Structure 1
Amino acid sequence: MTFFSFLLLLLSQTQPAPAQTPTQAAPTKESIPWSTQRPLTWSDFKSKPTPADRLAALTSGNIDVQVGCTDFVFSSSVKAVFLPKESWVRDASKASPELLRHEQLHFDITELHARMLRQKLTLVKLNCQHLNPAFSNLTKAAFSAWQREEARYDQETNHGLNAEKQKFWEAQVQVRLAQLVAFAQ
């Protein structure tokens, strides 16, 4: 199962900001960017389940979207990230490789939707003077599609317990990631 969160930082500045005295930035959440070279391991899951949690594990992922306008030119950054401090496994010593594959696929689906959003942002010509509501609508639709697919994945695979459906989803997500390789980071 995955926890859905979406970070949207809208920087719609059209003129350079006046020089300011540097201030200490707020600490950022620890995150792991999605990478084909860096699959998740149980040691990445740093949080603990509550007594009410019934799942064996929970993956917290995020699509981090940052946009800006400089001299009326739109730019964006979209990243799929894993949040270790919000993700947990009930007992890593007893957790199966199949469960880890299920959780990894949640992260892969997050990357899939990040690629889809990157694709949309390259296809849609956003006007920096009138960024909203077009940008807001685009990101809300992207988040909604991601959330629906994550829920459908857990439902169809019974949280990874249906091995046949799990293999089907793994194959389909890999095909779709390959189709969008031009939008990988």
Structure 2
Amino acid sequence: MLFSLAPLWLFSLLSASATPVTAPAQAPAKLPPLAWSANRPLTWDDFKARPNTDRLEALTSSTIDAKVGCVDYQFSAQVKAVFTPSESWVRNAARATPALLRHEQLHFDLTELHARLLRQKFSLLKLDCEHLQPAFGNITKAAFLAWQREEARYDQESNHGLNTARQQAWEQQVQQRLVQTQAFALQ
């Protein structure tokens, strides 16, 4: 038995323009996702999609990929934070600021933080393999909702990275929380 849940959340930095979001003219080739790594931060080269709006300077597409299964009635879960290059973009990498890249990186760091929190939750629960649903669905739904809310709060409070003081506060807070949840990081 194998279940997978990986909703996609898109996060971005707004520019001064207010043009509505439109569909991309041409979809980029599907590239493999990048797993989060403390040793490998994002670079603008990772953002492979083409911009699809005038309102945004960059867009990060990341998700929590959660797969669970049962072997001999033993529950196991694999949870990882992934970045999707073929759905992430920067308007002009040559002119993009380091601050903008830090803002986008923190979206990915928040994804990793919430992946760790989900790993922690799975490690504490004793899920019954015969009755995995609805427990698995309820747990992941709550985890993804908490992640989505925090991502939205991050963009709101930091004004999409434009409020430097709030951006720095978020960076410090998320780094502290990543340290606090290090026991649930992938090895």
1:48-127 residue pairs with structure 2 within 5 A? 48-50=50-52, 52-127=53-128
Identify the match of residue 32 of structure 1 among 10, 27, 34. 34
User: Does the residue aligned with 2:76 lie in a helix, a strand or coil?
Assistant: strand
CA distance in 2, matches of 1:178, 1:163: 23
Superposed CA offset, 1:108-127 (max 9, x none): 00000000000000011100
The aligned amino acid for 1:48 is R
Q: Give 1:48 deviation, angstroms.
A: 0.8
Q: 2:45 aligns with which of 39, 43, 46?
A: 43
Q: 4+ residue stretches of structure 1 with deviation over 6 A?
A: none
After superposition, give the CA deviation of every residue in 1:113-144 in whole Å (9 maximum; x if it has no partner).
Answer: 00000000001110000101111000000000
Q: 1:48 to 1:31 in 2, by over 3 A?
A: same
Question: Secondary structure in 2 aligned to 1:159?
Answer: coil
TM-score by length of 2: 0.83
2:177 maps to what in 1?
A: 176
Aligned to 1:14: none
Contact preservation (8 Å) 1:68, 1:75 = yes
Residue segments in structure 2 that go unaligned for 5+ positions in a row: 1-5, 10-29
Measure, in 2, the Cα distance between the counterparts of 1:36 and 1:134. Answer: 31
Please list every run of 5 or more consecutive structure 1 residues that lacks an aligned counterpart in the other structure: 8-27
- What is the alpha-carbon distance in structure 2 between the residues aligned to residue 70 and residue 160 of structure 1? 45
Question: Counterpart of 1:117 in structure 2: which amino acid?
Answer: L
Amino acid at match of 2:50: K
Amino acid at match of 1:100: L
Q: Deviations over 1:66-96 (max 9, x none)?
A: 1100111000100001000000000001000
Return the alpha-carbon distance in structure 1 between the equivalents of residues 142 and 31 of structure 2.
25
| Number of the residue aligned with 1:165 | 166
Answer yes or no: is the 8 Å Cα contact 1:49–1:88 preserved in 2: yes
With the length of structure 1 as denominator, give the TM-score of the two structures: 0.84
Task: Give the deviation of 1:6 after TM superposition.
Answer: 4.6
Three-state SS of the structure 1 residue aligned to 2:38 is coil
Looking at structure 2, the residues matched to 107 and 6 of structure 1 have their Cα atoms a distance apart, in angstroms, of: 12
Q: Is the 8 A contact 1:6 1:64 kept in 2?
A: no
**Which protein has the larger Cα radius of gyration, Structure 1 or Structure 2?**
1
Is the Cα–Cα contact under 8 Å of residues 66 and 77 in structure 2 kept in the other structure? yes
Matches of 1:53 and 1:78 in 2, distance apart?
34
Q: CA deviation at 1:55?
A: 1.0
8 Å CA contact 1:108, 1:173 repeated in 2: yes
Question: For this pair of structures, how many residues does the alignment match?
Answer: 161
Alignment RMSD: 1.5
**8 A contact 1:31–1:83 mirrored in 2:** yes
Superposition deviation, residue 5 in structure 1: 3.0
Tell me the distance in 2 between the aligned counterparts of 1:134 and 1:33: 26
SS at match of 1:56: strand
- Code of the residue aligned with 2:51 in structure 1: it is P
- Residue identity matched to 2:161: G
